[in-house]
Amino acid sequence: MFNPKKDDIDLETSVEIADGIYWIGFFDEQAGLHCNPYLIIDNDEAMVIDGGSRPDFATVMMKILQTGIAPNQITALLYQHYDPDLCGSIPNFEDIIKRNDLRIISDSANLMFIRHYSVATQLLPISKINYQFRFSSGRTLQFVKTPYAHSGGSIVTFDEKSGILFTSDLFGSLGLEWELFLKLRPECMDCVNLKQCPQKRTNCPINDILNFHKTVMPSGKALRYSLEQILDIPFTTIAPQHGSIINDKEIMRYVFELLSTIEEVGIDGIVEDDYVFNSDHLRERFK
């Protein structure tokens, strides 16, 4: 298994981040938004999580093949929300997997939109499988709803065996300087001056995370509620769909605390908290 503390990372290949779990994403030096599809292999079964966009499909499938599995061993495609950077390649996957029993799994609120990606596969709401997926071996994935983080049907997925929590847009990041695993210098931990780096560095990976959430999440209330939903999950690694994987406990704590307290998230940065709809204006408009 890959050891991020000892080994160099070849981003041109699939990267095993835990036993049988692979990062199969695409690194684009010109892109500020890096997408992270993942693959879980359990014996002769496989699942793809947030499979990626249509333009990235060739790279994603190449990395799947590098793991040694055949496309028809993929029995399920899991999508944690419905954006095209996750779901755009669904028809490509269907064409190459060619399984009549292939399932697309998501929350029903997401499936309402996912069906518009020319989907021919059975759509399976997580509510129909008691919010969990079992491989034939008994390995279990648990699904936890995180509504409006950032879509109404957003979910996160916990793999009990590896301790990895796949968090979709939660803990994501937006920035040109990117690495697969988030690392912070000792002096960056618990930094209290994020607006102006005391070390005079031009790039701050923490600011990249905070700015992403301010841009993508609809409100601070939605963000804080979703963070609270996952606090009781015994995860040891956070694997977001954008940005960097976090597998250091202290970094997790630091980022968690910052996200739970940031202001001006989404609409909160545009409209004051005490905003009240002007009913008089409405009546006058339709007088």
Band (pLDDT 50/70/90 cuts) for residue 29 is low
> What is d(CA 22, CA 25) in angstroms, rounded to the nearest whole number?
9
Q: What is the rounded distance in angstroms from the CA atom of residue 47 to the CA atom of residue 33? A: 23
Q: Please answer whether residues 153 and 138 qualify as being in contact, where contact means their C-beta atoms are separated by less than 8 angstroms.
A: no
Rounded-to-integer distance, Cα 131 and Cα 216, Å: 25
> How many Å apart are CA 19 and CA 97, to the nearest integer?
23
pLDDT reported for residue 1:
44
Q: Residue 76 pLDDT more than 60?
A: yes
Query: Is the per-residue pLDDT at 117 higher than 90?
Result: yes
Select the more confidently predicted residue: 14 or 201.
Answer: 14
- Phi, psi of 231, deg, nearest 5: -65, -30
Quote the pLDDT of residue 26: 82
Summarised one tens digit per residue, pLDDT across range 228-239 is 999 999 999 999
The sign of the dihedral angle between the CA atoms of 195, 197, 201, 203 is negative
pLDDT, average across residues 181-190: 84
- In Å, how far are 124, 127, 134, 232 from 144, measured between CA atoms? 16, 11, 15, 11
- Model pTM score: 0.93
Q: Provide mean pLDDT across the span 115-130.
A: 94
Other CB atoms within 10 Å distance of the CB of residue 171: 27
- Beta bridge partner(s), residue 38: 23, 49
| pLDDT value for 287 | 87
Share of residues in the chain with pLDDT > 70 (%)? 95
Task: Answer yes or no: is pLDDT of 285 > 70.
Answer: yes
Q: First CA to last CA across the chain, in angstroms?
A: 69
| pLDDT-derived band at 191, boundaries 50, 70, 90 | confident
The mean pLDDT value for 111-136 works out to 95
**What would the mean pLDDT of 261-276 be, rounded to a whole number?**
93
How many Å apart are CA 106 and CA 123, to the nearest integer?
A: 8
Q: Are 108 and 127 in contact (CB under 8 A)?
A: yes
**What SS3 class is residue 96?**
helix
Answer whether residue 185 shows pLDDT above 50: yes
Where residue 32 falls among pLDDT bands split at 50, 70, 90? low
Q: What is the pLDDT of residue 31?
A: 64
190: pLDDT strictly greater than 80: no
| Cβ-Cβ contacts under 8 Å for 147 (sequence gap 6 or more) | 153, 154, 222, 225, 226
Alpha-carbon gap, residue 132 to 106, rounded angstroms: 11
Q: Is the pLDDT of residue 83 over 60?
A: yes
Higher-confidence position of 287 and 129: 129
- Does the pLDDT of residue 189 top 60, yes or no? yes
15-272 CATH, one of 3.30.420.40, 1.20.1250.20, 3.60.15.10, 3.20.20.70: 3.60.15.10
pLDDT of res. 106 = 98
Whether 81 shows a pLDDT value over 70: the answer reads yes
Return the pLDDT at 277: 93
Q: Is the peptide bond before 150 cis (omega within 30 degrees of 0)?
A: yes
What average pLDDT does the chain have?
Answer: 92
Where do the DSSP E strands lie in 19-154?
Answer: 21-23, 38-42, 45-49, 74-78, 103-106, 122-125, 132-134, 140-145
Residues 236, 252 contacting (CB under 8 angstroms):
no
Which residue in 172, 154, 217 sits closest to 33, CA to CA?
A: 172
pLDDT at 224: 98
Beta sheet of 237-240, edge-to-edge order = 132-134, 140-145, 155-159, 164-168, 237-240
Q: What does the pLDDT read at residue 3?
A: 47
Residue 156 vs residue 5, higher pLDDT: 156
How sure is the predictor about 7, in pLDDT bands with cuts at 50, 70 and 90? low
